[in-house]
């Protein structure tokens, strides 16, 4: 079918180190823990097939949740790069917005978390434990400031780079 030929011909050749590192996703392939389980790092509880905030039932086994594994391994699922010219006030506002979105998301979903916010040559580099949170932050920045937003997925959409320019 022509669809396949088209997909192949448009497949970009990438030499990006970070993307190469994400070729295999150990977090997706490790399987579900035995229930009930509680994460020793963040206290999230695995029950009925998903991680949520709550009180660990008696007899819960200690198992690191996928988000805390990513934090320990420094292995993000999403990277948000915020660039362009922005003032100190705009930078502070951006940081507040990022924190706000992450806090709202994490409150509902334990696996959606901010990892780090770093300064890199005047740009902000924000890492997250999930693709969804990185996208949410990018979209919130775009809504608030009307800048330019670009999402680049890789690894079967298990990893995303979000570029936002003020
Ligand atoms: Zn955890």
Each domain of the chain, given as residue ranges in start order, spans: 2-64, 71-165
CA 68 to ligand 1 center in whole angstroms = 4
Ligand 1 centroid to Cα of residue 102, in Å, is: 15
- Tell me which residue of 14, 66, 77, 24 sits closest to 44, measured CA to CA: 66
| Closest-CA residue to 98 (of 74, 80, 77, 121) | 80
Quick one: average pLDDT of 86-104?
94
CA torsion through residues 50, 51, 53, 59, sign:
positive
Question: Which tens digit of pLDDT belongs to each residue from 110-147?
Answer: 999 999 999 998 899 999 999 999 999 999 999 998 99
Taking the centre of ligand 1 as the mean of its atom positions, its distance from the CA of residue 100, in whole angstroms, is 20
Mean pLDDT taken over the chain = 85
Q: How far is the CA of 119 from the centre of ligand 1 (A)?
A: 26
Angle in degrees, CA 154, 7, 11, rounded to 5: 50
Phi (first) and psi of residue 107, to 5 degrees: -60, -35
pTM of the model: 0.81
Query: How would you label 154-164 residue by residue, b for 16+ Cβ within 10 Å and e otherwise?
Result: bbeebbbbbbb
Gap from CA of 42 to ligand 1 centroid (Å): 4
Ligand 1 center–CA 117 separation, angstroms: 19
CA distance 104 to 114: 11
Q: Give pLDDT, residue 157.
A: 87
CA distance 150 to 153: 10
What percent of the chain lies above the pLDDT cut of 70? 81
| Candidate from 25-29, 137-141, 146-150 with smallest mean pLDDT | 25-29
């Amino acid at each position: 079918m022509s669809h396949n030929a088209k997909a192949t011909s448009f497949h970009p050749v990438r030499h990006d180190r970070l993307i190469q590192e994400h070729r295999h996703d150990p977090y997706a392939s490790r399987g579900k823990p035995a229930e009930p389980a509680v994460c020793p790092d963040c206290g999230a509880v695995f029950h009925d097939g998903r991680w949520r905030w709550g009180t660990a039932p008696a007899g819960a086994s200690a198992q690191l949740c996928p988000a805390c594994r990513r934090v320990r391994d420094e292995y993000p699922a999403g990277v948000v790069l915020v660039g362009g010219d922005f003032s100190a006030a705009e930078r502070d506002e951006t940081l507040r917005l990022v924190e706000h979105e992450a806090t709202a998301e994490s409150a509902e979903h334990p696996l959606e978390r901010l990892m780090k916010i770093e300064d890199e040559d005047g740009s902000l580099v924000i890492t997250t434990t999930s693709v969804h949170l990185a996208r949410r932050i990018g979209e919130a920045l775009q809504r608030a400031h009307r800048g330019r937003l670009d999402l680049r997925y890789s690894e079967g959409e298990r990893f995303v780079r979000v570029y936002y320019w003020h």
